[in-house]
């Protein structure tokens, strides 16, 4: 995150240098273009010159590695060199190492618990605070491989289970073929089933080919195998599978195809005091009243129940409620963005959290909230250091 801020600052500086240079040339005719450029660059570099105050401000706002980079870049003849190195040694480095150890410990614990996504995220955070981030390359690569293997195992098991049900359907309709010739209803069901099966077979190939083109070999393999399971004599399916296997990572292992599907259902434990949940269906006026009271989540849930029970006739009303709720989510997001720009991180997390609650599918809200939570976590750790 902070690396991105630094890159944007450098880009902005480059643009500003050009603008200032052009302005100098136009306003001072007596100077040559070279002289004007030098003067403009001198003024600009003075304005953006790194000093100990800027290093301390960056650190206070949670930009630890930006402060670290700036302090390390200070030259020996700089007037703030001694102060910056003292701040680096006594404040920045201890905080950096504390954050590194913090994220590394979380990553190790998550890895032991086989929480691969959490481990990957925290290894990346640890690398960000390391003076030698390449030390964590093997950890990051390993977590990525575990994630892909886990994804493959889940997708294969689920797709095979679904295909098994389709194959059973094919067998059932084949056994009733003689009866179906004299039964219009049974025949209609059989025709509909085979149309849907043909669509599944075709779509599996189309999607597998698309994933292969993107070099996404895990979903390509799952779907190509499904296509061939349902249509074993497919020449194009075999050709596609050859391509997938040719590019298949050696570390990815595919489980053997089971001869038959045997799945055990988990036993459900029902406590004596458990009560059946009864949905309350509110009227349109009651739902609109919730919107007026700014009870957005309640209104959204009530509109969903209303649509479920009223059917297509309630679709327009549901969209009306959704539009108002999403507008409120956007208002909260904008307020959170303003708070974040003013470095009110806790407030930004609160506002963006409410926006995500109202519109959980919005990737922009989710990304902003994640970045803010990471920064909030860092600032809390730094504040704990200051209290000690």
Residue 121, pLDDT above cutoff 80: yes
Q: Distance between CA 368 and CA 341 in Å, rounded?
A: 12
Residues 6 and 87 in one domain: yes
Of 212, 214, 213, give the one whose Cα is nearest residue 224: 212
Residues 125 and 20 in one domain: yes
Please check whether residue 253 lies inside any domain of the structure: no
Residue 61, pLDDT above cutoff 70: yes
Picking from 200, 224, 246, the residue at the C-terminal end of a domain is: 246
SS3 233: coil
Burial track 213-242 (b if 16+ CB lie within 10 A, e otherwise): eeeebbbbbbbbbbbbbbbeebeebeebbe
Q: Which domain holds residue 374?
A: 284-387
Residues 38 and 152 in one domain: no
Choice among 228-232, 376-380, 384-388 with the minimum mean pLDDT: 384-388
pLDDT band at residue 106 under the 50/70/90 scheme: very high
SS3 250: coil
Residues 180 and 226 in one domain: yes
Residue 317, pLDDT above cutoff 50: yes
Residues 37 and 61 in one domain: yes
Contact 374, 382 (CB under 8 A): no
Most confident range (mean pLDDT) of 152-166, 250-264, 265-279, 280-294 is: 152-166
Residue 151, pLDDT above cutoff 60: yes
Residues 95 and 154 in one domain: no
Please check whether residue 295 lies inside any domain of the structure: yes
Residues 30 and 127 in one domain: yes
Q: Which two tokens stand for residue 329?
A: 């989510």
pTM for the full model? Answer: 0.64
Residues 80 and 208 in one domain: no
Q: What is the mean pLDDT of residues 117-131?
A: 94
Q: Which residues contact 172 (CB under 8 A, 6 or more apart)?
A: none
Residues 172 and 82 in one domain: no
Please check whether residue 273 lies inside any domain of the structure: no
Domain count within the chain? 3
Q: Which residues contact 355 (CB under 8 A, 6 or more apart)?
A: 329, 330, 332, 333, 336, 362, 365, 369
Residues 114 and 147 in one domain: no
SS3 257: coil
pLDDT band at residue 3 under the 50/70/90 scheme: very low
Please check whether residue 279 lies inside any domain of the structure: no
Please check whether residue 264 lies inside any domain of the structure: no
Residues 211 and 306 in one domain: no
Please check whether residue 214 lies inside any domain of the structure: yes
Residue with tokens 């976590």: 377
Angle in degrees, CA 168, 170, 171, rounded to 5: 65
Picking from 72, 104, 139, the residue at the C-terminal end of a domain is: 139
Contact 1, 374 (CB under 8 A): yes
Please check whether residue 272 lies inside any domain of the structure: no
Residue 209, pLDDT above cutoff 90: yes
What are the pLDDT digits (tens) for 228-266?
999 999 999 999 999 999 999 999 999 765 544 433 434
Picking from 86, 105, 139, the residue at the C-terminal end of a domain is: 139
What are the pLDDT digits (tens) for 289-315?
988 898 888 888 888 888 877 756 688
Residues 128 and 15 in one domain: yes
How would DSSP label each residue in 1-17?
-HHHHHHHHHHHHHHHH
Please check whether residue 63 lies inside any domain of the structure: yes
**C-alpha distance from residue 223 to each of 122, 200, 286, 379 (Å):** 32, 10, 47, 45
Q: What is the mean pLDDT of residues 25-38?
A: 41
Mean pLDDT of the chain: 81
Q: Which residues contact 76 (CB under 8 A, 6 or more apart)?
A: none
Indicate which CATH number applies to the domain containing 149. 1.25.40
Q: Distance between CA 84 and CA 87 in Å, rounded?
A: 5
């Amino acid at each position: 995150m902070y690396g991105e801020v630094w890159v944007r600052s450098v880009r902005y500086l480059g643009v500003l240098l050009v603008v200032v240079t052009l302005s100098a040339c136009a306003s001072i005719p007596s100077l040559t273009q070279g002289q004007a450029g030098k003067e403009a660059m001198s003024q600009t570099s003075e304005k953006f010159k790194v000093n100990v105050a800027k290093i301390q401000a960056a650190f206070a706002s949670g930009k630890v590695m930006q402060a670290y980079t700036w302090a390390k870049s200070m030259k020996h003849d700089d007037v703030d060199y001694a102060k910056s190195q003292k701040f680096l040694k006594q404040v920045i480095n201890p905080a950096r190492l504390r954050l590194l150890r913090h994220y590394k410990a979380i990553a190790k614990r998550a890895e032991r618990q086989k929480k691969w996504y959490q481990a990957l995220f925290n290894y990346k955070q640890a690398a960000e605070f390391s003076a030698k981030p390449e030390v964590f390359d093997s950890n990051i690569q390993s977590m990525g491989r575990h994630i892909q293997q886990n994804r493959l195992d889940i997708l294969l098991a689920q797709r095979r289970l679904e295909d098994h049900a389709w194959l059973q359907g094919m067998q059932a309709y084949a056994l009733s073929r003689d009866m179906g010739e004299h039964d219009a209803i049974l025949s209609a069901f059989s025709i509909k089933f085979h149309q849907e099966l043909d669509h599944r077979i075709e779509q599996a190939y189309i999607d597998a080919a698309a994933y292969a083109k993107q070099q996404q070999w895990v979903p390509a393999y799952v779907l190509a195998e499904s296509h061939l399971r349902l249509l074993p004599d497919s020449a194009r399916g075999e050709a596609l599978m050859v391509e997938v296997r040719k590019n298949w990572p050696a570390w990815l292992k595919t489980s053997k195809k089971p001869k038959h599907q045997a799945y055990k259902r988990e036993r459900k434990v029902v406590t004596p005091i458990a009560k059946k949940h009864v949905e309350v269906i509110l009227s349109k006026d009651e739902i609109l009243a919730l919107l007026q009271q700014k009870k957005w989540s309640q209104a959204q849930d009530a509109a969903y129940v209303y649509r479920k029970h009223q059917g297509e006739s309630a679709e327009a009303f549901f969209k009306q409620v959704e539009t108002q709720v999403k507008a409120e989510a956007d208002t909260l997001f904008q307020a959170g963005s303003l708070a974040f720009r003013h470095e009110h991180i806790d407030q930004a997390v609160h506002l963006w959290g409410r926006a995500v609650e109202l519109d959980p599918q919005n990737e922009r809200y989710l990304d902003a909230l994640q970045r803010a939570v990471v920064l909030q976590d860092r600032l809390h750790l730094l504040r704990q250091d200051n209290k000690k």
